[in-house]
C-alpha cells in the first residue's frame, strides 16, 4: 500500500522538470506572440512608409508644364512598376480628379471610381475597393505630395500579414527556437544538480535517523552542510530528541533508583529472617523475600537494558557460557539437579555486551533449573553458528504460549512458579538489542529448549 | 560500636575464652584460628544483623559505619578480611580499598554493594577487591565467600582447610575425615586441596589440570576424571559427609554436604 502511495508521489526533481519545461515553453510562446503582434503593427507603418516613398518619388517626376501636369518617370522606375505586376500602382490626378497618368490599365480602372469630395485632407490612407465593391487587399494613399496642384494616388498590394508572420515565426523558430531544448536542458541540469547537492544531506539525515533507537538515544542528526532552508528540520528534531532523552533518562533513573533503594532494606529483611528459627512459616517467608529480591534485580536489569547504551565488544560465547554455568551450578546442585555445558570446539565470536549476554543466559538457565525435573540435568550448548541453547527436562512450553512467554509480566496459567514474569522479557529485549533473537522449542529428550541467537562477529562487519 | 574502634587501637589483648568462636571449641584448640573481620556498612540494621551472623559463624567482627571510622580501624589493627560497602555516607568505599592496596596491604576485601553494573564490578575488582557480593544476599552465601577468601594459601583458613567433616592440614599434608586419617596419593591431595579451597564453588577443569599435573606429565583428556573417580571412592569409603559434583563441560565442585 505504501509502495502504491509512493508511486503517486512526485519526486522534487520530476516536479521541477515539468514545471520548468512548462514555464520555458510558455515564455517561448509569449515571445512569439509578442513578436507577431509587433509585426502586425509594424506592417501598417511599413505600408504607410512605402506609400509615402512612392508618392514622393512620383511627385519628384511630375512637373507643371503649360498649366498642365506631366509625368515623366525614368525608365528604371517604369520598369519597376511594370515588374511589380500591379503590386504597386500610381495615378496622378488633376485638381478636378481626372486621371492624367497611371502606372497601368488596372490602376486606371481601380482609381477611376474614386470621387474626390471637397476638403480632401492633405494625406489620406484608405483601402481600395475591388469590382464587387468589397475591400481589396490594396492600400492606397491620396496625397498632394508637395504638388502645386493635383493629387498623386499610390497603392500597393498589402504584404499578406499571415504570410509575413509565418515567415517571421519560422525564422524565429529556426534562429532562436532551437535554443529552447538547450535552455530547457541547461535549466533542468542546474535545477536537478542543485536539488541533488542540497538534498544529499537529507539522505544522510535519514540514514542517521534510522539508527536512533532506545539503545542509541545519544545519536543526533548531523547539521553540517545542510542547506539553510532544511536546517530547521534537523535542529527541531534534535531538540525533540534531547527532550525525549531527558524524559527517558528520568524514567530510567527512577526505575534504577527505586530498585536500587529497595536492595538495602531487602538485604536487611533477608538477614533478619536468617536470624529466626527455621520452620515452615519462615521458609514460606524466605521464598517470598527471594521472589521480591528477584523482581528487584530484574527491574534493575530492565532499567539498565532500556537505559544503558549497550557496550558492545567482540567476545567468545564459550567462556561466557562457562561463567554462567559455573555461577549457577551450586544453585542447581543445591536443588538436587545439575547443569552441564557443551562448549563449541572453537571460539564463537559475537558482537555483544558481556553484562547483558550473561544476564540473559542466567535468566534462561535459572528458569531451566527451576523447571527441570529433580535429578535431571540442564544442558547449555554453544554452537558455532553463534547460538547458545538451554535444554531442560521439564514439562516444556506449550506451542500456543511460545509467543506470550516473552511478554512482560506474563506468568502462565498456573502461577505456582515463583517468577515475576520479567525474566524472559528481559531475555527477548536483550537479544533485540543485539540484533539477534530468542526462540523456544522442544528439547530433543522432551522439555523446553530456549536458544539465544547472536549475529556472528564476522557477519556484523558490513 | 563506635567504642570498639577505639578499643582496636589498643594493643590487641588475647580474646577471652567465652568469646571464642564455635569452631575453636569443636576442634583441637592448638589449630584453632580466630578470624578477625572488619565490617564497613552504613546501614546500621544491616550492619548489626551481619555482625551477629558472622559472630555466630565463628568470626570476630568489628563493625563501623563510616569511611572515617574504617580508616581508624584499619590503621589500628590487622584483619583477616574486610567486608566493604561501597555506598558510605562520607566517602566512596572504593577510596578505602585504593588506600589499602596503595599501602601494600593484601588483606582480602569482599565488596558488599547494591551497585551491580558490570562496570562497578570490574572497577571494584580492578581496584583490588577479592570478591564482590550483591545486595540483597543470603547470609550463608556471605559466609561461604568469606571462608573461600580465607581458605586461600595466605588466608587465615589457608593452612587447615575444612569442609563438612573433612579436615585437610596443608602444612602437614594430612587429610582427616571425622578425625580419622585418610591415605591419599600426592596428586589426590593436590586435587582435594584445590577443591577444598573453593568449596561450594565450581573449580574449572583446566585450573585443576594445571595444578595437578606438571609440564612433563602425560595428560589424556580423562586423566583427571580417573583421578577424581579414585578420590571420590576413597572419600566415600572414609565417610565424607559431602560430595564432589561434576559440572560437565566446566569443572568440579565440592559440596560440604550431600545434596
Residues B233 and B130 grouped into a single domain: no
Domain end point (choices A277, A309, A341): A309
| B73 & B165 share domain | no
Residue (of A383, A440, A385) closest to A410 by Cα position: A440
Q: Are A273 and A285 in contact (CB under 8 A)?
A: yes
Confirm whether A106 is domain-assigned: yes
The residue ranking higher by pLDDT, A14 or B21, is A14
Question: What pLDDT, on the 0 to 100 scale, is given for residue A412?
Answer: 61
Instruction: Identify the pLDDT of residue A380.
Output: 96
Claim to verify: residue A305 and residue A319 sit in the same structural domain:
no
Q: Is B141 in the A-facing interface, judged by CB distances under 8 Å?
A: no
What's the domain count of chain B?
2
* Tens-digit pLDDT profile for residues B44-87: 888 999 999 898 888 889 999 999 999 999 988 889 999 998 88
Give the per-residue pLDDT at B39. Answer: 94
**Residue numbers of the domain that contains B18:** 4-151
CB contact under 8 A, A338 and B200: no
Total domain count, chain A = 3
Instruction: Looking at mean pLDDT, say which of A342-346, B88-92, B170-174 comes out highest.
Output: A342-346
pLDDT of residue A170: 78
pLDDT tens readout for residues A67-102: 777 888 888 888 888 877 777 888 888 877 778 888
Q: Which of A126, A148, A153, A139 is nearest to A55 (CA)?
A: A153
Establish if A189 belongs to a structural domain. Answer: no
B201 touches chain A (CB under 8 A): yes
Residue A176 is assigned to a structural domain of this protein: no
Q: Which residues of A touch B249 (CB under 8 A)?
A: 322, 325, 340-343, 380
Mean pLDDT of chain A: 81
Q: Would you say residue B240 has pLDDT above 80? A: yes
Q: Are residues A264 and A371 in the same domain?
A: no
Determine the distance in angstroms separating the CA of B115 from the nearest CA of chain A, rounded to an integer.
Answer: 7
Residue B87 gets which letter from DSSP? B
Q: How far is CA B164 from CA A258, B27, B179, B243, in A?
A: 40, 13, 12, 10
Decide which of B151, B175, B193 is a domain's last residue: B151
Q: What is the CATH number of the domain that holds B166?
A: 1.10.10.10
In a shared domain, residues B128 and B146: yes
Minimal-distance CA residue of chain B relative to A308: B117
Q: pLDDT tens digits for A268-326?
A: 888 888 888 888 888 888 888 888 888 888 777 777 776 666 778 899 999 999 999 99
Residue of B nearest to A300 (CA): B116
Contact A372, A333 (CB under 8 A): no
| Chain B residues touching A355 at Cβ < 8 A | 117-118
- Return the higher-pLDDT residue of B259 and B65: B65
- Among the ranges given (A168-177, A275-284, B56-65, B194-203), the one the predictor scored with the smallest mean pLDDT: A168-177
Task: Give me the CATH number covering residue B72.
Answer: 3.40.50.2300
- CA A104, A86, A91, A115 dihedral sign is positive
- B9 pLDDT higher than 80: no
Q: Is B116 on the interface with A (CB under 8 A)?
A: yes
Inter-chain contact A377–B50, Cβ cutoff 8 Å? Answer: no
pLDDT of residue B194: 92
Q: Is the pLDDT of residue A438 over 60?
A: yes
- Angle at which helices B93-102 and B118-127 pack, to 10 degrees? 30
Domain boundary among B151, B180, B202: B151
Q: Which DSSP symbol is given to B12? A: P
Confidence band for A416, pLDDT divided at 50, 70 and 90: low
CA atoms of A339 and A369, how far apart (whole Å)? 8
- Residue B119: closest C-alpha in chain A: A355
**Same structural domain, A215 and A127:** no
Which regions of A83-200 does DSSP assign to beta strands (E)?
88-93, 99-102, 123-129, 135-143, 151-157
- C-beta atoms of B137 and A270 within 8 A: yes
Both B16 and B103 in one domain: the answer is: yes
Residue A36: inside a domain, yes or no? Answer: no
Beta-carbon separation of B253 and A329 below 8 A: yes
Q: Residue A368 belongs to a domain with what CATH number?
A: 3.30.565.10
Between A143 and B39, the more confident residue is B39
Give the pLDDT confidence score for residue A373 in this predicted structure: 93
pTM of the model: 0.61
Which residues does A456 contact at the CB level (< 8 Å), separation at least 6? A348, A349, A350, A385, A386
Structural domain includes residue A201: no
Residues B9 and B127 in one domain: yes
Q: Which of B151, B184, B217 is the last residue of a domain?
A: B151
Is B52 close to A275, i.e. CB distance below 8 A?
yes
Q: B128-169, pLDDT tens digit by residue? A: 889 888 888 888 889 888 888 888 877 777 778 888 899 999
d(CA A322, CA A276): 36
Domain span at A49 = 42-163
Cell 586435587, residue located: B191
Residue A330: list chain B partners with CB under 8 A. 200-202, 253, 255
Q: Which of A268, A288, A309 is where one domain is finished?
A: A309
Q: Are residues A315 and A449 in the same domain?
A: yes
Q: Do A61 and A74 touch, CB atoms closer than 8 A?
A: yes
Q: Which of A147, A183, A133 is nearest to A60 (CA)?
A: A147
Average pLDDT value over all residues in chain B: 82
Whether the predicted pLDDT of A7 surpasses 90:
no
Amino acid at each position: 500500500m505504501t509502495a502504491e502511495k509512493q508511486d503517486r508521489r512526485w519526486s522534487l526533481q520530476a516536479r521541477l522538470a515539468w514545471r520548468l519545461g512548462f514555464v520555458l515553453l510558455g515564455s517561448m510562446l509569449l515571445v512569439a506572440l509578442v513578436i507577431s503582434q509587433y509585426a502586425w503593427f509594424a506592417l501598417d507603418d511599413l505600408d504607410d512608409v512605402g506609400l509615402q516613398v512612392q508618392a514622393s518619388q512620383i511627385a519628384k517626376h511630375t512637373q507643371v508644364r503649360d498649366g498642365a501636369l506631366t509625368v515623366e518617370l525614368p525608365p528604371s522606375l517604369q520598369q519597376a512598376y511594370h515588374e511589380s505586376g500591379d503590386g504597386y500602382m500610381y495615378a496622378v490626378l488633376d485638381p478636378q480628379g481626372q486621371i492624367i497618368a497611371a502606372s497601368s490599365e488596372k490602376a486606371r480602372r481601380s482609381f477611376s471610381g474614386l470621387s474626390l469630395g471637397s476638403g480632401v485632407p492633405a494625406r489620406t490612407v484608405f483601402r481600395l475597393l475591388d469590382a464587387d465593391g468589397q475591400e481589396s487587399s490594396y492600400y492606397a494613399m491620396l496625397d498632394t505630395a508637395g504638388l502645386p496642384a493635383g493629387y498623386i494616388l499610390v497603392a500597393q498590394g498589402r504584404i499578406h500579414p499571415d504570410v509575413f508572420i509565418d515567415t517571421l515565426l519560422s525564422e524565429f523558430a529556426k534562429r532562436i527556437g532551437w535554443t529552447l531544448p538547450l535552455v530547457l536542458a541547461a535549466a533542468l541540469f542546474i535545477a536537478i544538480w542543485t536539488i541533488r547537492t542540497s538534498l544529499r544531506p537529507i539522505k544522510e539525515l535519514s540514514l542517521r535517523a534510522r539508527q536512533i533507537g532506545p539503545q542509541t538515544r545519544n545519536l543526533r542528526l548531523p547539521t553540517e552542510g545542510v542547506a539553510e532552508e532544511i536546517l530547521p528540520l534537523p535542529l527541531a528534531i534534535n531538540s525533540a530528541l534531547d527532550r525525549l532523552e531527558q524524559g527517558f533518562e528520568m524514567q530510567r533513573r527512577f526505575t534504577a533508583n527505586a530498585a536500587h533503594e529497595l536492595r538495602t532494606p531487602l538485604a536487611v529483611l533477608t538477614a533478619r529472617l536468617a536470624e529466626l528459627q527455621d520452620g515452615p512459616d519462615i521458609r514460606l517467608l524466605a521464598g517470598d523475600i527471594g521472589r521480591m529480591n528477584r523482581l528487584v534485580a530484574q527491574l534493575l536489569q530492565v532499567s539498565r537494558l532500556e537505559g544503558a547504551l549497550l557496550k558492545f565488544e567482540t567476545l567468545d560465547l564459550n567462556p561466557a557460557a562457562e561463567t554462567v554455568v559455573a555461577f549457577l551450578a551450586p544453585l542447581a546442585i543445591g536443588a538436587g539437579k545439575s547443569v552441564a555445558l557443551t562448549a563449541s570446539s572453537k571460539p564463537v565470536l559475537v558482537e555483544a555486551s558481556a553484562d547483558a549476554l550473561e544476564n540473559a543466559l542466567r535468566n534462561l538457565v535459572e528458569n531451566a533449573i527451576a523447571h527441570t525435573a529433580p535429578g535431571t540435568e540442564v544442558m547449555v550448548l554453544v554452537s558455532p553458528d553463534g547460538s547458545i541453547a538451554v535444554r531442560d527436562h521439564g514439562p516444556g512450553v506449550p506451542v500456543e504460549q511460545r509467543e506470550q512467554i516473552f511478554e512482560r509480566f506474563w506468568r502462565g496459567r498456573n502461577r505456582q512458579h515463583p517468577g515475576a514474569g520479567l525474566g524472559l522479557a528481559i531475555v527477548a529485549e536483550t537479544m533485540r538489542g543485539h540484533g539477534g533473537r530468542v526462540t523456544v522449542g522442544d528439547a530433543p529428550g522432551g522439555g523446553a529448549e530456549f536458544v539465544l541467537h547472536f549475529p556472528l562477529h564476522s557477519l556484523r562487519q558490513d | 560500636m563506635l567504642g570498639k574502634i577505639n578499643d582496636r587501637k589498643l594493643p590487641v589483648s588475647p580474646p577471652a575464652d567465652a568469646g571464642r568462636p564455635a569452631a575453636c571449641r569443636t576442634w583441637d584448640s592448638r589449630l584453632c584460628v580466630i578470624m578477625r573481620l572488619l565490617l564497613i556498612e552504613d546501614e546500621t540494621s544491616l550492619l548489626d544483623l551481619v555482625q551477629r551472623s558472622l559472630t555466630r559463624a565463628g568470626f570476630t567482627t568489628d563493625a563501623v559505619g563510616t569511611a572515617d571510622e574504617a580508616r581508624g580501624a584499619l590503621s589500628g589493627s590487622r584483619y583477616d578480611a574486610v567486608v566493604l560497602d561501597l555506598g558510605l555516607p562520607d566517602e566512596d568505599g572504593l577510596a578505602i580499598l585504593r588506600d589499602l592496596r596503595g599501602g601494600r596491604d593484601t588483606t582480602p576485601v569482599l565488596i558488599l554493594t547494591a551497585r551491580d553494573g558490570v562496570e562497578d564490578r570490574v572497577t571494584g575488582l580492578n581496584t583490588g577487591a577479592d570478591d564482590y557480593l550483591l545486595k540483597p544476599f543470603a547470609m550463608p552465601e556471605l559466609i561461604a565467600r568469606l571462608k573461600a577468601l580465607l581458605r586461600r594459601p595466605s588466608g587465615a583458613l589457608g593452612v587447615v582447610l575444612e569442609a563438612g567433616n573433612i579436615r585437610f592440614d596443608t602444612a602437614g599434608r594430612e587429610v582427616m575425615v571425622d578425625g580419622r586419617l585418610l591415605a591419599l596419593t600426592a596428586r589426590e591431595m593436590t586435587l582435594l586441596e584445590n577443591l577444598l579451597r573453593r568449596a561450594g564453588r565450581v573449580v574449572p577443569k583446566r585450573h585443576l589440570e594445571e595444578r595437578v599435573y606438571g609440564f612433563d606429565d602425560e595428560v589424556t583428556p580423562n586423566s583427571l576424571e580417573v583421578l577424581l573417580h579414585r578420590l571420590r571412592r576413597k572419600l566415600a569409603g572414609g565417610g565424607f559427609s559431602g560430595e564432589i559434583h561434576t559440572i560437565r563441560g566446566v569443572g568440579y565442585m565440592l559440596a560440604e554436604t550431600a545434596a
